[in-house]
Structures are given as structure tokens and as C-alpha cells.
Amino acid sequence: MAKSYEIAVIGGGPGGYMAALRAARLGKKVMLVEKEYLGGTCLNRGCIPSKTWLKNAEILESMERAKEWGIETPEISVSFGKMKRRKDEVVTRLRNGVSLLLKKGKIDVYEAEGIVEDEHTVKAVSEKGEERIRAEKIIVATGSSPALPPIEGLASVPCYTSDTIFDIESIPASLIIIGGGVIGVEMATVFAALKTKVTIIEAAERIIPAEDAEAAETLAKALKGKGVKIITKATVKRLTKEGESVIAECADGQGNPLIVTGDAVLISVGRKPNLSAVRTIGLEMNGPFIKVNERMETSVPHIYAVGDVIGGYQLAHAAYMEGIVAASNAAGLDKRMDDKVVPRCIFTMPEVAGVGLTEEAAAKAGLRVKTAKFDLAGNGKALISGDTGGFVKIVYEEKFGEILGVTMVGPHVTEMISEASSFISLEGTVEEMAGMIHPHPTISEAFFDAAWKIFE
């Protein structure tokens, strides 16, 4: 007789394990099936490994800058092996933490591939065989995989994706990064700090094209200052191996040929959903992704979907909340996902953070808005830390002053963006922000200073 649960979760990444924990806390009998490691892409091959390496990059830059501040240091050397081991230690510790949380929640974890056979049946497939599990509700959280563009010769050159770059054996002398989105610019920051000659090739008019144009311009200037070459409005047509080098044959915006040479290639052009668990049940799709409503319900009754598999922001913290919403509704509550307050963070140097609408998005939506901006060149803490190349920009509704979006560029702004999220969630106004007392000297008071611009 098949085992029976109230809620079955397929996928042990942020959306999946958070859904399982929420359902368990609501008193439901829960199982979770994961075919690889708990923690998903974020913990094992994404957010955590990349931010661990970015911390290395930050320390390296600080050590190099120390001489300008009267601190003499010996010549800096890097042990890439130790860098990788530290990354692995951080990942293992957090993965064990997820396992402990699931154990405390009395959630049954199956080490297997989960396949949805119908709205109440999950097949768990492992080396031990197959097992069918009955469930009243099913939450699909199967994540995504790196998308590979149709480039001729891709399989014949040393090529990495965001999943495999952390397995690279040594620091390359030069690296071609195809794609200037979040992953591309973060990895460019890491390898530039390691003295790799980095070239970013981006098809759009600018790097991080989904973010504020001024933020992209500021980040591009900073990356170029670190020696990163940025080529925009260009596509890679062909990759070939010539000795120890990789040759990227590209075309610019006018179709003119362009050649870029490197020792290795990193592909970072986006991610595709993992759909093998749901191919036979007739789910309605939103392009390549599973279509859901604001309750995270799919087109098939009793089946929910969360995380990268539904598209959208494809961020771990968005998946957390989607998992909470799905589990709450699967347990009989009524909860809805509000994605207008999902913060977007890029952990480069300087960092870039945003929430809500950018200035361009507001204009495209036909909204009557104004902006208020404060440059960090006038911020005391930024001057102290030597990081003045950033800003805070507020996009607010013209008539009532409601804050619709905030973009921040500067040191540690990813730690500050939640304040903006709170204001947008509570429908706060720019005038109310201008009345908030912020500590001095801090980078965070630049938010206040930007709001204060409305009185000029």
C-alpha cells in the first residue's frame, strides 16, 4: 500500500524546503523528495558559493587599497585551493542546517527523483527502485538549470556555466563571460580581483539590462576600472579552440565581425525550468515556465508550483515566500504572493540593489512619476570608506508621493534595500521617508538624503 501524506513537495531548494517547513508548522503530514543536495541551486551552486568567493574578492580589493591609506602590506598571494575549500565548508554547513530543520519539522525526506503522475500521486525514483506516494496536495519546486545558447562549437571548448564554474581547477589567465546579467557581472568581479583578464559579451545595450540605466552605467564604469572589458550589443556566433586559447567569433550590433580570445568561457545567459517532474500531467504553461496564479496554484487542481520553475524573478528569497504562500494555501488558508516588493540584489563592488519599479519601467507603464536622487559623493560614510561612486534613487508617484521603486548603488546596499521594500509594501510616501531619522554617519542615510531632495 502506498504511503500517504497531506502535502508532498518535489524539490529541496529554497522554495521547496520552505514550503515543507511551513506546511509542517501548520500541522500537516509532509514529505519532500530531492534527487541531489538539499538547498537547491542557491545553496550548492549559486547564491552561497558565489557570495563566498565575492567576499574573497572584497578582501583582496581592501588589501590592495590599504597602501593608499598608509597601511603597508607585503605582496598579496592567493591560494585558490583554500578559497574553494572555504566555499565548500560554508555550503556543507548550511546544507546540514537545512537537513536539521527538516528533521526537526518531522518531514520525511526521500533521496530520489520525484515525478508527478496525477494530482494526488508522486513517483519517487532512485537506485533502490520506484515508490508511489499519495498526497492530498502537491507542491512542485524543481528549480532550473543554466540555459545554453545555440553557439556553434560550444561543446568543443573549455566552457563553464553558473553550475560548474565553482569546480574550475585553477584561476584562468583570461575569461570570456557570455552574458552580462547578474551572474556575469558577479563572476567578473570575482575573477577580476584574482587578476584574470575578463571580457563580458552582452547582447543588450548595457549590462544588467533589467536594472536602472544609471545603475548599469555606474557598475560598468567600476568594472572597467578593475580591468574588465565590456562589449555590449554583440552576440557570439562561434567558439573554436586554438592551442590553449578559446576564440569567440562575434557580431556587433551592425553585424560587423568581432574576435575575442580567452582561456575559458563562462555561459551566463539565463536559466531554463526543470520540467521532467511534470511533463505528463498537462499543466498550462507561461512560455517555458509553469503558469501559476497569485495563490501559486497551477491549472491542475491540488498542484502548486514555486521558485525558478515558474519563472519571474528566479531569486531564492522570492522562492521562500512563494513556498510559504503555496504551503499556506495547500493547508487550507488564503494567502497571496505580492511580487512588487521582491528586492533584487547584485553583490558586485559596488553593490546594486533595487525594489519595485525602475525609472524606465515606470515610464513604460505610463505612470506619472518623479525621481529623487542622492549621490554617495556627498555621504560621509562613503567618503570614509572610499566608496563614493554610487547613489540612491527614489521613483515616486507624482500626485501623492507614494514610493514606487528604489535603486541603490554602493557599498553594502544589499543590506539596506529591505527598508525600501518596507516603505513600498506599506505604501509609504517620499515625504514620510524625508521625515525618518537615520543614523549618522551611515550609507543608509543616503535614502533620507534622496527623499529630502523633494524640498529643494
| Residue 113, marked binder | no
3-state DSSP call for residue 340? helix
| Residue 6, marked binder | no
179 phi-psi bin (left φ>0, alpha ψ -120 to 50, beta other): left
Residue 62 CB partners (closer than 8 Å, separation 6+): none
| Residue 339, marked binder | no
Grid coordinates in use for 394? 527614489
Q: How many CB atoms are located within 10 Å of the residue 370 CB?
A: 16
Residue 81 CB partners (closer than 8 Å, separation 6+): none
Q: What is the DSSP letter of 208?
A: S
Q: In degrees rounded to 5, what are phi and psi of residue 158?
A: -65, 100
| Residue 378, marked binder | no
Q: What is the DSSP letter of 211?
A: S
| Residue 352, marked binder | no
3-state DSSP call for residue 247? strand
| Residue 395, marked binder | no
**DSSP per residue, 396-413:** EETTT-BEEEEEEEETTG
In the annotation, is 317 catalytic? no
| Residue 442, marked binder | no
| Residue 270, marked binder | yes
| Residue 443, marked binder | no
Q: In degrees rounded to 5, what are phi and psi of residue 98?
A: -65, -45
| Residue 392, marked binder | no
**DSSP per residue, 260-305:** EEESEEEE-S-EEE--TTSTTTT--EETTEEP--TT-B-SSTTEEE
Looking at 120, 302, 412, 440, which residue is catalytic?
A: 440
| Residue 186, marked binder | yes
Angle at 9 between CA 5 and CA 14, to 5 degrees: 145
Q: How many residues does the chain have?
A: 456
| Residue 179, marked binder | yes
Numbered residues of the known binding site for FAD: 51, 114, 142-144, 308
Numbered residues of the known binding site for NAD(+): 179-186, 202, 270
Residues labelled catalytic: 440
Numbered residues of the known binding site: 51, 114, 142-144, 179-186, 202, 270, 308
